[in-house]
Structure 1
Amino acid sequence: MNKSLQSTICLFLAAIIWGSAFVAQRSGMDDIGPFYFCALRSLIGSLALMIVFLLTDRRATLHKTADPNDPAAKKALEEEHLLERKTLLRGGLICGGVIFIAMNTQQMGLVSTDAGKTGFITALYIVLVPIFGIFLKHKTGFTTWAGAVLGAVGLYFLCVKEGFSIQPSDLIILSGTLFWALHILCIGHFAPKVNVIKLTAAQFFVAGLISLAVAIFREPISWAALTGSSISVLYTGIMSTGVAFTLQALGQKHANPTAASIIMSTEGLWAVVFGFLILGEKMTGRELIGCGFMLIAVIISQLPVPVKKKGGNPL
Structure 2
Amino acid sequence: MTRVQANLLLLLAGAIWGAGFIAQSTAMKSLGPVWFIGLRFAVATLVALPFALWEKARATSPLRRSDLAGFVLTGIALFAAAAFQQVGLLTTTVTNSGFLTGLYVVFTPILTVLVLRRRPHWIVWPAAFMASFGIFLLSGGTLAALTLGDMLTIFCAVLWSVQMICVGVFSGRSGRPLALSLVQFFVCAVVGCGAGLLFEPVSLAAISGALPEILYAGLFSSGVAFIFQNVAQRYTTAPQAAIFLSSEALFAALFGVLLLGETISPAGYAGCAIIFLAMLAVELVPELLRPRRAVTPVEA
Q: Given the two structures, how large is their TM-score scaled by the length of structure 2?
A: 0.92
Q: Which runs of 5+ in 2 are unaligned?
A: 293-300
Task: For residue 85 of structure 1, report the CA deviation from its aligned partner.
Answer: 4.0
Q: Within 2, Cα distance between the matches of 1:5 and 1:299? A: 11
Q: Deviation digits for residues 262-288 of structure 1, max 9, x if unmatched?
A: 000010000011112222322211110
- The answer to whether 1:241 aligns with 2:222 is yes
Instruction: Sort the Cα spacing of 1:210 and 1:282 in 2 relative to 1 into closer, same or farther, 3 A.
Output: same
Instruction: Sort the Cα spacing of 1:299 and 1:87 in 2 relative to 1 into closer, same or farther, 3 A.
Output: same
Task: For residue 165 of structure 1, report the CA deviation from its aligned partner.
Answer: 1.9
Report the count of equivalent residues: 288
Q: Report the AA paired with residue 201 of structure 2.
A: P
Task: For residue 101 of structure 1, report the CA deviation from its aligned partner.
Answer: 0.5
Q: Within 2, Cα distance between the matches of 1:56 and 1:141? A: 32
Is the Cα contact below 8 Å between 1:184 and 1:261 reproduced in 2?
yes
Task: For residue 57 of structure 1, report the CA deviation from its aligned partner.
Answer: 2.1
Q: Deviation digits for residues 136-179 of structure 1, max 9, x if unmatched?
A: 12221221111001001001111245443211221111111111
Other-structure match for 2:18: 19
Alignment of 1:1-315 (within 5 A): 3-58=2-57, 60=58, 64=60, 80-81=61-62, 84-135=63-114, 136-160=116-140, 162-192=142-172, 193-305=174-286, 306=289
Task: For residue 122 of structure 1, report the CA deviation from its aligned partner.
Answer: 0.8
Q: Within 2, Cα distance between the matches of 1:165 and 1:216? A: 33
Q: Within 2, Cα distance between the matches of 1:160 and 1:110? A: 17
Identity of aligned residues (%): 29
Q: Report the AA paired with residue 214 of structure 1.
A: A
Q: Report the AA paired with residue 57 of structure 1.
A: K
Q: Report the AA paired with residue 292 of structure 1.
A: A
- Classify the secondary structure of the residue corresponding to 1:142: coil
Instruction: Sort the Cα spacing of 1:308 and 1:48 in 2 relative to 1 into closer, same or farther, 3 A.
Output: closer
Is the Cα contact below 8 Å between 1:145 and 1:301 reproduced in 2?
no
- Classify the secondary structure of the residue corresponding to 2:107: helix
Q: Within 1, Cα distance between the matches of 2:205 and 2:223? A: 25
Q: Which runs of 5+ in 1 are unaligned?
A: 65-79, 310-315
Is the Cα contact below 8 Å between 2:4 and 2:283 reproduced in 1?
no
Q: Report the AA paired with residue 127 of structure 2.
A: G
Q: Report the AA paired with residue 274 of structure 2.
A: F
Is the Cα contact below 8 Å between 2:27 and 2:36 reproduced in 1?
yes
Task: For residue 88 of structure 1, report the CA deviation from its aligned partner.
Answer: 3.9
- Classify the secondary structure of the residue corresponding to 1:254: coil
Q: Within 2, Cα distance between the matches of 1:246 and 1:184? A: 12
Other-structure match for 1:313: none
Q: Within 2, Cα distance between the matches of 1:14 and 1:88? A: 24
Task: For residue 127 of structure 1, report the CA deviation from its aligned partner.
Answer: 0.3
Is the Cα contact below 8 Å between 1:87 and 1:194 reproduced in 2?
no
Q: Report the AA paired with residue 16 of structure 1.
A: A
Larger Rg: 1
Q: Within 2, Cα distance between the matches of 1:143 and 1:165? A: 32
Q: Report the AA paired with residue 188 of structure 2.
A: A
Task: For residue 243 of structure 1, report the CA deviation from its aligned partner.
Answer: 0.3
Is the Cα contact below 8 Å between 1:120 and 1:160 reproduced in 2?
no
- Provide the alpha-carbon RMSD of the alignment: 1.6
Of stretches 169-178 and 13-22 in structure 1, the one that deviates more from structure 2 is 169-178
